[in-house]
Amino acid sequence: MSTSTSPELAAPHPLKAGDSFPDGVKFTYVPYTPEKEAITSCGVPQQFNASQEFANKKAVLVAVPGAFTPGCSVRHLPGFIDHLSEIKSKGVDVVAVIAFNDPWVMSAWAKANGIKDEILFMTDIDTRFSKDIGWTKGDRAGRYAMIIDHGKITYAQNEPGGDVTVSGVDAVLKAL
């Protein structure tokens, strides 16, 4: 299952503020359920139609190269968890984290961080979306952040190096 049903682009098309969020973008995730709360419990992956879901909501989309990696688990994700109420207070309906990992790994990463359904942990399968926009690190998703406000991108930044700067929570909060 790919994350995007759009045809493969001839060349990557980076997104920027002012662009519309593309049609046909889909991710997969394992929704939280109390009966599958244990980190070793597996749920059934479901499709998340980001294009439809973000069309009428304000969303923060954060991409990381991989779940459980030091940069992502120590420097990138914790800020979004720690400042979630502040992010939500700025009218954000959905906070989503994507990576190339499969939906079960992403679900386990959410559980390991004490997240139920406050943040969606989703899979950019085959890194299709990240490849379409040209923001990858090898075969993995790159490290980037976007703010989508009712289908329009108001912020889109890809990390220029290995640090967490333009895709971190401080930059996102400033842009909100």
Pairs from 166-170 (Cβ < 8 Å, separation ≥ 24): 167/62, 167/63, 167/76, 167/143, 168/75, 168/76, 168/79, 169/79, 169/80, 169/82, 169/83, 169/87, 170/79
Q: How far apart are CA 23 and CA 76, in angstroms?
A: 27
Kindly name the residue from 15, 30, 64, 72 that is annotated as catalytic. 72
Instruction: Count the neighbouring beta carbons within 10 Å of the beta carbon of residue 151.
Output: 17
Return the SS3 of 148: strand
Query: Which residues in the chain belong to E strands, given as ranges?
Result: 26-29, 46-49, 58-63, 94-99, 120-123, 136-137, 140-141, 144-149, 152-158
Is residue 42 annotated as part of the catalytic site, yes or no? no
Catalytic residues: 72
